[in-house]
Amino acid sequence: MTSKKITNIHSSHSDAQRIKIVHGLQNIIKSQSQLFENTKIKVDNCINYDNLTSSISLVELESIKESIIEAKKRGLTIRYITEIREDNIEYCKELYLIVDELRHLDRLKSNFILSESEYISHIGYYSLNEKRGKKIISEIIYSNIKSFIKEQQHIFNILWNKAIPAENKIKEIENSYIVLKIENRENLAKQKILEEEGKGLEINYEAKIIEKPNEIINRIIHLAETSSQLLIVSSYGGMQLIYNNFFDHYKKILDEYKTGESKGIKWICNIEKENLEIAKIFLKMGMQIHHIKNLPPINFALGDKEINATIEEMEKGKMVQSLLTSNEPLYIRHFLSVFENLWYSSMNATDRIAELEQDIESEGIEIIRNPFEVQQLSFNLLKSTKDEILIIFSTANAFHRQEKAGLIKFLTEIASEKGNNVNIKIMTPVDNKLQDTKRELENIQTDEEIEEKDTKLEYGKEEKNIQPNSKKIHIKFIESQLQTTISLLIVDRKYSLAIELKDDTKDTTYEAIGLATYSNSKSTVLSYVSMFETLWLQTELFDLLKIKDKIQKDFINIAAHELRTPIQPILGMSDILYSRIEDNEQKMLLESIIRNAKRLKRLTNDILDVAKIETGSFKIKKERFNLDELITNLIAQYKTSTKEIDTNNSNLVYLAENRNFIIDGDKEKIYQVLDNLLCNAFKFTKGLQCADITIKTKKDDYNNVIIVSVKDTGTGIDKEILPKLFTKFATKSVAGTGLGLYISKNIIKAHDGTIWAENNLDGEGAIFRFTLPIAP
């Protein structure tokens, strides 16, 4: 087909919508560079095995390399699919470092580059490998037709979902296949040397790879003829291969099993509808078969003393191209262990066949290790949803990774789809970005609501009369103490997918997640549902408590400020009146008023301090002051007759190690702590005939702090109160609120000090101590 013919076929398109053939290397490079420049989201590449080497060479060209660098700077995602083999593994490693994601797909034939708006397909091969005798590409097909690009994107997505991560394939090649070939070459080299020396080499144990078709067939027959029992793990293709080519040899073993001359054949495979009939035939012949959903990535047959294995899929019974064979005891023991583990964890074939024939979905739990399979399964489950989707994200980053992968967008499409009654509930830890996302998702309108809105606007009705949309997506934020280490998806209360978090710092889901557990077991899924509903209810209760707590704090703030306003004039006027009255009886009445007004003022200040502590607005104003002067002034205040605490029966003593302790702190707040401790000391020595209260200051040279202690000989601290002494409302006294010590603790903590208390060893009274750093 020439470019002229192609142009004629699409002549109905405008210049913006076209398909054409581009000739010449420079024009091809220019077209590819232009594709990168025009792209806004991603570039998907599908390069087959024969063209991979040249693909790397093209990337090395400066113009293409610059295009990729610039594309990455703009935030583009660049993905590649290719076939990774032993002879191109170095090129694949280089490609793996250049692009964002690289995957492997067996027998890949396609060759194209695709963005959201443009498509380039390579015609033929363009390898620079001279041994193949092929030259660099000279023609490409270019298109920017939207419908065509959409079809090609669908094809790419199918290939992408079938492909596996490049790192997995590279490890597989480097760690097993190559090692075995090297061992085989070393054995052959040793044998050749010894044979040349005339000594010969008798190898008792060997592991080698056979690639000649006749040798592979002979080896399969040899294993069947020399074994009294066969243990096989294989895909459906392996069973079809044996049925088509080696049926008589396997029938002979099964016939001998019926007469007791052999141990028969045990086979583990994945039984589906397409291989149901063959499985029935082998079962009827006496073969023991078990079903397992996820087979290991290698097919093997284990005889008495030998093992045959291959990593090929053997689609539709196709003969394998390479076969690993060994009589090495280490391999035999390894594969026997693998077989036994699979056999006892697998399902009897007769039960599986009954399920398939009755169209019953079996219940079970499946461990998934491939992150790409996990992501695909997530989307498949969501697509199948009929009633309800429940999701828990382990972290806010987990939410954002899924948002980037398109999961959240897909949920919005489900929620807005016409006639869809799916209810979606999401729980996630919160960050600043999620607050906006929550509002957007919860206000999504359905297609019906949009149509209703358009209709009413069309007929001139005011938009304010339109009914608000019915929310289908509900999001709640998980408190840190309720946060989990797994993300959880539950669909229709029938299916669950629990995904472990491996590394929350990664940008993509594939890098961040670990193992996933899929289940359709009713008991397992309902257990997850119960856990979800419990967390959902707890988040609702937390929300209600937050609202209630806020209302309560607002009320307390308002009430405390309103109380403070009249207290100050009451105290001021009472003091003036007290100074003018000479009648002792009237003075006693005023003293009572003043004491209670001061008590009310103290309570009001405590409430305001607690409110500030709870809201994080509690601040201290530091200044340098002499601690001795502060304590002396406080003691003088307690000797006045208008103090609200009765001090008549207590002996107050002040012992100072040094009269010149300089503190860098909030003078008023430290005064408040000492006042509170003295107030408590007098309160708990009230009514005693003789009580001692001692204030003591002492320097701790080792920690460079001042230790201040207030000791009394009163009733002591109640044993029930002692463990929670410095918490809110920790009191048994009818005269106190239990706020003073809580405030004192926070004041001392704000000064980088500590406070503690204990009952005296002699059983009389208690001692409170706190530390303050000495000013430098």
Higher-confidence position of 644 and 101: 101
Distance CA 729, CA 770 (A): 20
Sign for the pseudo-dihedral over CA of 611, 614, 619, 620 = positive
Angle at 413 between CA 412 and CA 417, to 5 degrees: 120
pLDDT, tens digit (0-9, with 9 covering 90-100), for 107-151:
776 678 888 888 887 654 444 344 444 445 567 778 887 766 876
Distance CA 321, CA 277 (A): 26
Decide: 111 and 80 in contact? Cβ < 8 Å.
no
Higher-confidence position of 147 and 731: 731
Distance CA 688, CA 755 (A): 27
pLDDT at 11 over 70: no
Look up tokens 């293409």; give the residue.
Answer: 64
- List the structure tokens of 653: 């003593």
Sign for the pseudo-dihedral over CA of 662, 667, 673, 675 = positive
**pLDDT for 529:** 92
pLDDT at 75 over 60: yes
**pLDDT for 288:** 94
Alpha helices of 384-504 — where are they, by DSSP H?
Answer: 396-405, 407-416, 432-442, 447-458
The DSSP result for 572-591, as a single string, is HHHHHHHHH---HHHHHHHH
Decide: 525 and 495 in contact? Cβ < 8 Å.
yes
**pLDDT for 3:** 38
pLDDT at 6 over 60: no
List the one residue out of 622, 591, 744, 609 whose CA is nearest residue 679. 744
* Homologous superfamily, domain 3-166: Endonuclease Chain A (3.30.870.10)
The topology under which CATH files domain 204-357 is Endonuclease; Chain A (3.30.870)
pLDDT at 168 over 90: no
List the one residue out of 65, 69, 95, 268 whose CA is nearest residue 169. 95
Strand 691-700's sheet: what is its strand order? Answer: 650-656, 691-700, 705-712, 766-773, 755-759
Average pLDDT over residues 715-721: 87
Select from 3.40.640.10, 2.40.10.10, 3.40.50.2000, 3.30.870.10 the CATH code of 366-520: 3.30.870.10
pLDDT, tens digit (0-9, with 9 covering 90-100), for 197-214:
444 444 456 778 888 889
Going by pLDDT thresholds of 50, 70 and 90, the confidence category of residue 356 is confident
Spans of all domains in the chain: 3-166, 204-357, 366-520, 543-618, 619-773
Select from 3.40.50, 1.10.10, 1.20.140, 1.10.287 the CATH code of 543-618: 1.10.287
- List the structure tokens of 169: 């394939």
pLDDT, tens digit (0-9, with 9 covering 90-100), for 569-611:
888 888 888 888 888 888 888 888 888 888 888 888 888 888 7
Give me the architecture of the 619-773 domain, per CATH: 2-Layer Sandwich (3.30)
Query: How far is CA 379 from each of CA 68, 398, 421, 489, rounded to the nearest angstrom?
Result: 30, 16, 18, 10
Alpha helices of 470-521 — where are they, by DSSP H?
Answer: 509-512
- List the structure tokens of 276: 């149901």
Going by pLDDT thresholds of 50, 70 and 90, the confidence category of residue 187 is low
Distance CA 64, CA 71 (A): 10
If you average pLDDT over every residue of the chain, what do you get? 78
Alpha-carbon dihedral angle through residues 37, 38, 43, 45, given to the nearest 10 degrees: -80
Equal CATH topology for 3-166 and 204-357: yes
3-state secondary structure of 47: coil
**pLDDT for 372:** 82
Query: How far is CA 282 from each of CA 27, 253, 310, rounded to the nearest angstrom?
Result: 60, 12, 22
Q: Which residues contact 527 (CB under 8 A, 6 or more apart)?
A: none
List the one residue out of 276, 208, 287 whose CA is nearest residue 253. 287
Point out the least confidently predicted range of 241-245, 351-355, 376-380, 415-419.
415-419
The gap between the terminal CA atoms of the chain, to the nearest Å, is 90
3-state secondary structure of 367: strand
pLDDT, tens digit (0-9, with 9 covering 90-100), for 640-664:
644 555 555 678 889 988 888 999 9
Higher-confidence position of 294 and 466: 294
Count Cβ atoms below 10 Å from residue 540 Cβ, excluding itself.
Answer: 11
Beta bridge mates, 662 = 626
**pLDDT for 463:** 43
pLDDT, tens digit (0-9, with 9 covering 90-100), for 512-561:
888 889 888 888 898 899 989 988 888 888 777 777 777 767 776 677 67
E runs forming strands in 67-115: 77-82, 101-104, 112-115
pLDDT at 457 over 90: no
